[in-house]
A and B are shown apart, each in its own frame.
Chain A
Amino acid sequence: SVPDVAAPQTKGTPRLLLMGQRRSGKSSISSVVFHKLPPSETLYLESTARIQKDSLNSFMDVQIWDFPGQIDVFENPNITFDIDAIFGEIGALIWVIDAQDDYLESVAQLNNTILHIQRSYPHINVEVFIHKVDGLSDDYKLDIQRDITIRIQDELSDEGIENAPVNFHLTSIYNHSIFEAFSKVIQKLIPRLGQLEAMLTNLCRTCRFEKAYLFDVNTKIYIATDSTPEDMASYEICSDFVDVVIDFTEVYGSWPRTQSWRARLEGEPWSQPVEDQVACELAEAGMVLSDAQRPIMLREVDRFLALVAIMKEGSYEKMPQINLNVDVVVKGLTEFFDITKPKEVKAAAVVEGRKGQGS
């Protein structure tokens, strides 16, 4: 296939760097998003002493490097960092600022960092997380964001840098905002994102969905959505629906049933393997909201991804028709990710599949 020039050219595994001052919330963020730590338990996290590497093993492998707050990689009297090893292959630099604290020093340090990386790596996206905004009023949040934006832009233009790729996000681990922000960051790493979005937009049109998301099930990051305007409320309800399904999956679907249970199900009067008794081998779920009978549906795409959509009022009766359309899109998505996946992973999946057949 023709390489997409707009896509970031990262070889190997893209890397996200989490940087910012001590206690700004970096480890909390990575524990909540990538390890499902309940936000209240981040109170017990200890200060990070060395670089902590995490990885997102999903439809795409991403590494997340959590830097100790006290380390300044550029002006460190003790150690000289291999700057190229750190920034060479990164997908984005995430800078975390504690909005509940005095942030001037952090902004100064961020400016310094941007100036350094602009010289050698001008394409690196800098994603500023203005963090811990829970408990702050909406007005105050916007004031802070404006203030920080101006401080950074002024500094950069003084140095003659215009249009540096710097983006801002208001985040908190106590609500969906941190997942939303990560979604935006990760989406920029996906090759051919536009094609994914077009598939979802088409699905919404043919099935008359209000909004559709493609979720990474483990992190609840959404990696694509249709072209209708962004809408936090829709993302929240779809994301919570994924949670509901995950919980039911764990409680009722994660332990092996006995042979005799299976034998009874497959015996008279059914006389069929259970696999043939089901209509769809992938997980599928639907929930009808009481207001205006608005349904929400979920369909598993593969072991990492699920499609979640909010349907229009009263469309639950059209489910069979809708399911046919969803089948088609799921097939398309599977092919899309098969192509995107690196060769070794595909080979591994084949081996796994063979093992599955043998048993």
Chain B
Amino acid sequence: TLKKVKKQKVLLMGKSGSGKSSMRSIIFSNFLARDTRRRGATIDIDLSHVKFLGNLTLNLWDCGGQEAFMENYLSQQRAHVFSNVGVLIYVFDIESRGDVERDLATYVNIISALVQYSREAKVFVLVHKMDLIQPAMREAVFDQRVALVRRKTAEAVSIVRKQKPDASAHPQSPPFPSTQIPDVDLDMQLFATSIWDQSLYKAWASIIHDLVPNLAVIETQLASLGVAIDADEILLFERTSFLVVSKWSSREGERNPYGDRFERMSNILKSWKHTCSKFTGTPRNAEQFSDFEYKMGPNFAMFATKFTTNTYILVCMPPGEARFNSAKLNVAAARPWFRFLDGPPVPMSSS
């Protein structure tokens, strides 16, 4: 059965200038990376409701990172900001030399507040502006930061756990004896990102992945479609952000050595949308193309097309005209199976 519409509170936090608003405007508003250079600092909290597919709304809290605001979130507005959080995204600016200690201290305070008010929340840490690190150094710099952040997170979480649980925050939770701290393995993932390449799409696809309702249904149906049309790979994109919502690969498709291809496809098609919008003079967020076909002789064939109201589908096929044409027809015929992606589902039980 299909689950109902979901609203998810997503906190976007990090030091001022770390790149939060830039990434938000690139992913959800189709800005170009180079257009973000003219942004002003975010004042207080910039709230936006991003409709992602028909049945998921992200309440995105872009929290201005200047110190005065940060202090305010952690004190006066603490309960307001940190309750009912589905996801926290914390952005570290990798180039902010010298200030690392202070940035980490703020991070620790935020994790403490989060664990206190939203113990189920998922945490995504983005180590951002990686383009500013020399390519050869990137992996080492990232690994080092990951180790540091993991250690600080573990410390923060265990300190909160040692304290008497805040009665007002968790009225139902039984008090633990201080010797027996339950292992809160905070659900945390870290990504190296930059607005200048596809790494941003990888991080954000992971962020939204677990929030999409009915994911299992989508996956099953994509797989049936893939098998039915003899495809090697199918990607389903959300229409505005072009983040990959779901994907399926055949056994042969899984042998593809390009492990980063999903975020790469998002990045390619998104920048293609830009090119189109510039060429046609239509707004950035408008639908820019309806159909794309590419046949590489006897190697492979593929098409990308508008699928449901909220999605595009990309299908990679083995070569062959007949196979290709029938796949196109079958994908068009499969649209109704996926109609639930466009709106609140019809109640299933009433019949």
Q: Is B338 an interface residue (CB 8 A)?
A: no
Return the chain B residue nearest A245 by Cβ.
B294
Bin the interface of chain B by size: 35 or more
Smallest Cβ distance from B306 to chain A, in angstroms?
Answer: 9
Q: Is B272 an interface residue (CB 8 A)?
A: yes
Question: Which among A251, A275, A288 is the interface contact of B290 at CB below 8 angstroms?
Answer: A288
* B295 & A285 in contact (Cβ 8 Å cutoff): yes
Return the chain B residue nearest A293 by Cβ.
B290
Q: Is B119 an interface residue (CB 8 A)?
A: no
Q: Is B351 an interface residue (CB 8 A)?
A: no
Cα distance, A301 to B106, chains bound together (Å): 58
Smallest Cβ distance from B282 to chain A, in angstroms?
Answer: 6
* A289 & B280 in contact (Cβ 8 Å cutoff): yes
User: Which A residues are in CB contact (< 8 Å) with B275?
Assistant: 236-237, 240-241
Question: Which among A40, A240, A278, A281 is the interface contact of B320 at CB below 8 angstroms?
Answer: A278
For A174, A241, A248, which residue has the most chain B Cβ atoms within 10 angstroms? Answer: A248
SS class, residues of chain B in contact with chain A? mixed
* A251 & B34 in contact (Cβ 8 Å cutoff): no
Cα distance, A264 to B254, chains bound together (Å): 17
Q: Is A257 an interface residue (CB 8 A)?
A: yes
Q: Is B319 an interface residue (CB 8 A)?
A: yes
Cα distance, A251 to B233, chains bound together (Å): 12
Cα distance, A243 to B255, chains bound together (Å): 24
Cα distance, A288 to B256, chains bound together (Å): 27
Interface string of A232-247 (1 = CB under 8 A from B): 0110110011011101
Smallest Cβ distance from A311 to chain B, in angstroms?
Answer: 13
Give the A interface residue count (CB, 8 A).
Answer: 47
* B287 & A248 in contact (Cβ 8 Å cutoff): no
Given contact pairs A40-B131, A258-B255, A278 touches B293 in the complex (Cβ within 8 A):
no
Q: Is A75 an interface residue (CB 8 A)?
A: no
Smallest Cβ distance from A45 to chain B, in angstroms?
Answer: 12
Question: Which among B197, B292, B316, B318 is the interface contact of A274 at CB below 8 angstroms?
Answer: B318
5 other A-B residue contacts (CB within 8 Å) besides A249-B296, A257-B318: A270-B323, A277-B298, A278-B298, A279-B295, A294-B280
Give residues in A with beta carbon < 8 Å to B. 38, 40-41, 44, 174, 233-234, 236-237, 240-241, 243-245, 247-253, 255, 257-258, 261, 265, 270, 274-275, 277-291, 293-294, 316
Give residues in B with beta carbon < 8 Å to A. 34, 131, 134-135, 196-197, 233, 252, 255-258, 261, 264-265, 268-269, 271-272, 275-276, 278-280, 282, 286-302, 316, 318-323
